[in-house]
Each structure stands twice: as C-alpha cells, then as structure tokens.
Structure 1
Amino acid sequence: DDNDVNNLVEIMRLNENGLNVTGNVTSENLFIPQYVYSHNNATMVLASANVWANLTFNQEEAEIKKGISHVHNDNTNHTFTISESGIYDINYNFDVIDTSASSTDIDVAGRIIYFNGTEIIGSVFETDIIKQDVEVEISHNFLAKLNAGDVLIFQFIANDVDVQISTHSTFGVHPDSVTILIIKIANLP
C-alpha cells in the first residue's frame, strides 16, 4: 500500500534526524496525520424539496490532502475515502440562498453520510432562511469515529426547492461557497 511506504519513508527520515525507535512501529503507537481541505464555488440546486442532495467538490486549486482520498475531476467528486481509522474533527461550511419569488420561512440543513446512506451521528446541522435573496451559512463542526475504507458524502436539504448553494465572485481569486475540512486528531485505541 502506498500509504505504508510513505509512512515508512517518513519514519526513516525521522531516524536520520536522531529519533531512536525501538520495537515495532504500528498505527497504535505512532500518529500519522490524515487531512483534507476541499472547496467549490459552483451553484448547486436541489432536484426537489425535502430530498437530500450531494455536494460536489470539483476545484483542485488549494486542495490540501494527505491520506484521505478525493478526486476532484470525475463523477466521484462528491466522495471522500478515509484511509486510516481514527477520531476525526470534521468541519463544513455551505452558503445557501432562497431564490423564491416571495419571502417564506424555509428550513435548510447539511449533513454527512456514509456511502451506504447511513447518516453520521452528530453531522446534521439545521438553520432557517427567513428572508428572500438572503444568504445563510450552514456551518458545523463535530467529532466522528471513522474506519479505514469509510466513504463520506456531504449533503444539503431544504423544504423549498428554490434553495440552492450560492456562488461568490465579488472578492478574491478563489472565492468559495462550500468548504470542508477533515482532520484526524487521534488513533483508535
């Protein structure tokens, strides 16, 4: 496995710098960082109200990743695959807007599911949009126990089909409407 080879190379580099390793080095006694930061600035619409929609992450600029697989330029750009079991700190930020003709009270939420459709406990965050053409940020941070091979999908939903992920272009070179950050913070016992 490429990760094992990369980890071995990192351990050898540490040894050259004076680290004395005795015994076997395993995932139980060595922490290997795993992380991904991904983003997008595309309008994403709901196919219908009250149905979860997958978010895509198709911008490679500034994507930072190690040990978490994500391909930005194919039809799997909505998935992130965990390579090392552990406790992960997960953060997502989605900018949504109500584009309907009149002002209403709309419920909107974000969440993360496993590839099999099971919702990750603690991942759902809901808010309201109470004014027309006003952007609202769905922002949530939580911890999750993830296993090697878990495939994660970020989603959003609203009870009105006129809600969409909004785009930005006023400031900066790479504005974002959707960002995610997944960081491994601990090994599993």
Structure 2
Amino acid sequence: MFYVVLFGFALSGALMKLTDDIEDRELLLPKKIAYLTGIAYGATIGLLMVFDENAAYLFSGIIIGCLVTNKINAESHYLALGTILLIVFSKGLVLFMPLVLIIMVLAAIDELTSNSRNTRTSLNKILDYRVVLKIGIILLAIFEIVHWYAAVYILSFDAAYVTTDRIANKFEVRV
C-alpha cells in the first residue's frame, strides 16, 4: 500500500503543478484542459485522504493553509477542491484538529514565503521550494507524531511538482 500512496502523492503533485501552469502560463495546451487536470488531482487527493491517515492530515493542513492565504485562485483549483470535498464527505473523515492546525500553519508559511520575489536572496530561493512544510513534517515524523511515511509522501509530492514545473518550462510559448 505504501507504494500506491507514494505514487498517488507524486501523481497529485504533478497534476496540481500542471493545472497551475495551464492556468498561469502560456503553455501549448488549451486552458480548458486545466479543468480535467484539476478534477484528476482533486480525485487523487480525495482518495488518498480517505484511504491513508497520513495523507488525510497532510492534505487537510495544506488545503486549509492554501485557503487562508488565498492561494486557491482559479476555477480549475476550485473544481479540485470540490472533488476532494465530495469524496471526503461521502466517505467520512475524523482527524485530530491540533495536528491539522500545525500542518496548516506550516503550509501557510510556505505559501506566504514562497512568492517573496521582491529580493532574490539565497534564502528566498530556498523558500521557493517550500521547505518549511517539509522540515516540519520531518520533525513531526522524528517525534513520531506522524508516521515517517508522511515525510516520504510530501517529498514525493514536491519532487513531482518541481519536475512538472521544469518540464512545463519547455512547453511555454515564448513571445
């Protein structure tokens, strides 16, 4: 099951970044494809959340963190959120809220610091990779608050996210 969830995290990270890039950049893809990729990553995340406790905590915190920082900003991402909620509410989910809040704060800090492009310092370049959440999850795993799988899952998600961004750069329309 570990490898299925690991693949799901990588797939959702890649689809989320592709959705982002279709919405925000001039890729050689029709904008409407973002609706399909949004629903696909939403379904992947929703299923991961109902079948894996670590995924439920990670994605709950990340989603709330993105909502409170206004980072969910396109119709395709709202479709993803709706798909996630539909799956989660249909199956039910019980979470320990303090842990969700910790992950939410880590995700919110990442969202707020990853776009600090006014000055391009070394710290800003590091923060662009959203390291606060990764370090936080690794610490939670070290203290056995979450399973060590959670750290591997979030690293898999982000590796796919970054890889998709680099691939999308090659398909951006240059004017």
Q: Same fold (TM over 0.5)?
A: no
**Higher Rg of the two aligned structures:** 1
Larger strand proportion of the pair: 1
Larger helix proportion of the pair: 2
- Alignment TM-score, normalising by the size of structure 1: 0.25
